[in-house]
């Protein structure tokens, strides 16, 4: 064999392969878009893209912890909707700011509770997460429709929610700052805490984790709770951004949220993946949707482009893994 040089130790890159692949794909999209529409490179446009991407980014942050465990959370859409609906309902119940602003807390509490139920079903009752979270999603849907369904309920966000959703601090959209804060928390948790280390170990092998006496169940429950919090938070931000909560508001975030994590190089079987990839994956998906909209691509073409990007990227990771 002649390619001996290939086997030499490669220098370590500051970013991992999947993150790099996402960044390259993002740059390619910017070039393609920019060649046709010069305004593509304007900071206003880019900031606006990141702002729309933030909802997806926060959802995928929560989804990633669950996927790292080899599980999945399909209750994202109605957890988002429930968080936003409950928050705006509290807001509508009393105009006094000290009451209406507790709406945010109520929304987070709803998210955490749904996450807790998800976690208990998966970790303790040991029901496959794909079934259990699909079921909880349907239950929340039913409950929300039952209580608020056929006539208009209070759906106005509070001042604080609006500030989060549309306000700016030092020129940066607040929602972007919120995404950055969530991201820093996830990065810190995964890299620097025993809980983060345990996520990777439980995700690699729950049996070994159990025999090693790691708190496997606690790790699973905590991760579902975190995912629920992220979904509810994203739902409330979306309500603040859109100026109201509405049914099915979370629907467009389920599959893209999972896709962002997988595009970012996290294995659906658990145990492997870096958070930087998830962030890059969320940006890539958002930008792709935006480029296709600007080009006024028909819906069918959008779906094809969307599918092709996933196939190419994930196929590339898979090839790379089987080679090494």
Residues that bind another protein (CB under 8 A): 1, 4, 7-9, 192-195, 197, 200-201, 204-205, 207-209, 211-214, 271-272
Q: DSSP character for 215? A: -
Closest distance between another protein and the C-beta of residue 179, in Å?
23
Among left, alpha and beta (phi > 0; psi -120 to 50; other), residue 213 is left
Token pair belonging to 166 = 């549309």
Q: 280: how many CB neighbours lie within 10 A of its CB?
A: 25
Spatial separation of the C-alpha atoms in residues 110 and 117, rounded to whole Å:
11
Whether the Cβ atoms of residue 64 and residue 275 lie closer than 8 Å to each other: yes
Closest distance between another protein and the C-beta of residue 79, in Å?
26
Closest distance between another protein and the C-beta of residue 120, in Å?
21
Measured from the CB atom, the residue of 2 and 44 that comes closer to another protein is: 2
Closest distance between another protein and the C-beta of residue 191, in Å?
8
Q: Where are the alpha helices (DSSP H) in 264-298?
A: 275-294
Closest distance between another protein and the C-beta of residue 190, in Å?
11
Largest CA distance in the chain: 77
Using CA atoms, how far residue 94 sits from 103, 161, 197, 241, in Å, is 10, 15, 44, 21
Of 151, 162, 142, 153, nearest in space to 236 by CA: 162
Closest distance between another protein and the C-beta of residue 209, in Å?
8
Closest distance between another protein and the C-beta of residue 212, in Å?
5
Measured from the CB atom, the residue of 42 and 212 that comes closer to another protein is: 212
Of 52, 58, 47, 75, nearest in space to 185 by CA: 58
Beta bridge partners of 173: 168
Measured from the CB atom, the residue of 125 and 207 that comes closer to another protein is: 207
Closest distance between another protein and the C-beta of residue 317, in Å?
14
Measured from the CB atom, the residue of 64 and 291 that comes closer to another protein is: 64
Measured from the CB atom, the residue of 3 and 299 that comes closer to another protein is: 3
Classified as helix, coil or strand, 169 is strand
Measured from the CB atom, the residue of 167 and 215 that comes closer to another protein is: 215
Token pair belonging to 275 = 């958070």
**Given the structure tokens 């496997």, which residue do they identify?**
216
CB burial string 47-60: b at 16+ within 10 A, e below: eebbbbbbbbbbbb
Measured from the CB atom, the residue of 52 and 205 that comes closer to another protein is: 205
Measured from the CB atom, the residue of 198 and 286 that comes closer to another protein is: 198
């Amino acid at each position: 064999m002649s390619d001996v040089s290939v086997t030499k130790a490669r220098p370590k890159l500051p970013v991992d392969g999947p993150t790099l692949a996402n960044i390259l794909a993002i740059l390619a999209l910017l070039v393609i878009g920019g060649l046709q529409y010069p305004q593509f490179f304007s900071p206003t446009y880019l900031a606006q893209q990141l702002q729309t991407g933030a909802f997806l980014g926060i959802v995928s942050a929560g989804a990633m912890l669950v996927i790292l465990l080899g599980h999945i959370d399909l209750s994202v859409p109605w957890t988002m909707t429930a968080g936003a609906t409950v928050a705006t309902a509290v807001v509508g119940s009393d105009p006094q700011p000290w009451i209406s602003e507790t709406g945010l807390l109520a929304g987070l509490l709803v998210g955490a509770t749904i996450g807790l139920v998800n976690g208990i079903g998966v970790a303790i009752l040991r029901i496959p997460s794909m079934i259990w979270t699909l079921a909880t999603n349907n239950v929340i849907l039913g409950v929300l429709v039952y209580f608020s369904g056929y006539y208009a309920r209070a759906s106005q966000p509070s001042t604080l929610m609006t500030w989060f959703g549309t306000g700016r601090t030092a020129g940066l959209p607040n929602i972007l700052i919120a995404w950055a804060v969530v991201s820093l928390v996830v990065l810190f948790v995964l890299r620097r805490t025993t809980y983060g280390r345990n996520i990777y170990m439980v995700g690699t092998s729950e049996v070994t984790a159990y025999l090693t006496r790691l708190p496997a169940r606690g790790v699973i429950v905590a991760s579902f709770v975190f995912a629920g919090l992220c979904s509810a938070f994203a739902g409330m931000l979306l309500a603040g951004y859109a100026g109201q909560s509405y049914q099915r508001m979370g629907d467009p975030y389920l599959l893209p949220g999972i896709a962002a994590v997988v595009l970012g190089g996290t294995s659906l079987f658990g145990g492997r993946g870096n958070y930087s990839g998830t962030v890059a994956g969320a940006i890539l998906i958002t930008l792709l949707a935006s480029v296709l909209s600007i080009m006024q691509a028909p819906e069918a073409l959008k779906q094809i482009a969307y599918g092709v990007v996933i196939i190419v990227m994930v196929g590339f990771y898979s090839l790379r893994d089987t080679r090494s």
